[in-house]
Structure 1
C-alpha cells in the first residue's frame, strides 16, 4: 500500500515529517481526510485536531491556522501552531482561554489587538478540545 508523506511546519521549524496511511485535518469547509493519490489541492487550515494514522497507530496534534498543500504523495501543512496532545498543559490553556474571552468582552482592544486575541482564543480552544477529547479515563 502506498503512503502519504506528511510535513507539519510552524514558524519554529518542522514539527513532524512522517509517512502515514491517512491524515485528517480541519479545513475551512470542514474536516478533510487525505489518502495517498489525492488530487492536488491548496486549502486553508483552521485551528483544530490533526489525526495521522500509520500502521494501526494514531498520532494526534492540535494545529493552528494556516494552509495545506496536497499532492498525490505529499501533504504539507504550514501553520502557526502544532502541539502533540501530550504537550498540552490543560490548566494553562484553560487560563489562556479565560483571559482571552475576558479581553474580548471588555471591547477596549484596538482592531489589531482584537484580531490577535481572537486568534489566540481559537488556538487555545483547539488545544483544549484535543486534550479533553483524548484524556485517559
Structure 2
C-alpha cells in the first residue's frame, strides 16, 4: 500500500487541483502546517500563501491559495478557497502592479480601507511567491 494523500483544491468556480500527493505544506492563521500520510483529522483556517505540494515522484509543486479552509480526514485533504492559481495562470506583471497599488494605499494616511488593502497585498504576494518558488525548483 502506497502512502499517498488525495488532495482537492476547490474554488467557487472550479476544481483547481485533484490528484494524489505524498505531503502538503500550507500556511494557517497560526503558522505553517505539514500534512503527511495518516495525519490526524483537522480543520483549519488558511492564510494567503503558496501551498507546497510534494508529489509522489519526489518533485514539488506550488499553488497560490487566497485564504480559505483546509480539512484533513482519512488521508483526504480538501482546501476550500475563494481563489487558487497554478503558476502558469499567474500574470507576473499584473500581480506586481496589484502589490504596488496595495502598498501605495497602505502608505497613505488618508481614508483607506486598511483591511482591504492588506488583503490585496497578501493575495499579490501569494501569487508572486508562487511564481518565485516554482522557478527555484
Query: What TM-score range do you get, normalising by the shorter chain?
Result: 0.7 to 0.9
How big is each residue's C-alpha offset from its partner over 1:97-130, in whole Å with a ceiling of 9 and x where there is no partner?
Answer: 11111122224446xx432222111110111122
Counterparts in 2 of 1:109 and 1:13: CA distance versus 1, 3 Å: farther
Contact 2:20-2:56 at 8 Å conserved across structures: no
Q: Offset at 1:75?
A: 0.7
Contact 2:62-2:133 at 8 Å conserved across structures: no
TM-score (ref. length: structure 2)? 0.87
What is aligned with 2:48? 47
TM-score (ref. length: structure 1)? 0.87
Q: Offset at 1:59?
A: 2.1
The answer for unaligned runs of 5 or more in structure 1 is: none
How big is each residue's C-alpha offset from its partner over 1:58-87, in whole Å with a ceiling of 9 and x where there is no partner?
Answer: 221111111111113111111122111222
Helix, strand or coil: the match of 2:37?
A: coil
Contact 1:24-1:50 at 8 Å conserved across structures: yes
What is aligned with 1:132? 132
What is aligned with 1:105? 107
Helix, strand or coil: the match of 1:60?
A: strand
In 2: Cα distance, 1:4 partner to 1:129 partner: 24
User: Aligned-residue CA RMSD in angstroms?
Assistant: 1.9
The answer for unaligned runs of 5 or more in structure 2 is: none
Aligned residues: 135
Q: Offset at 1:136?
A: 5.9
Helix, strand or coil: the match of 1:39?
A: coil
Contact 1:47-1:62 at 8 Å conserved across structures: yes
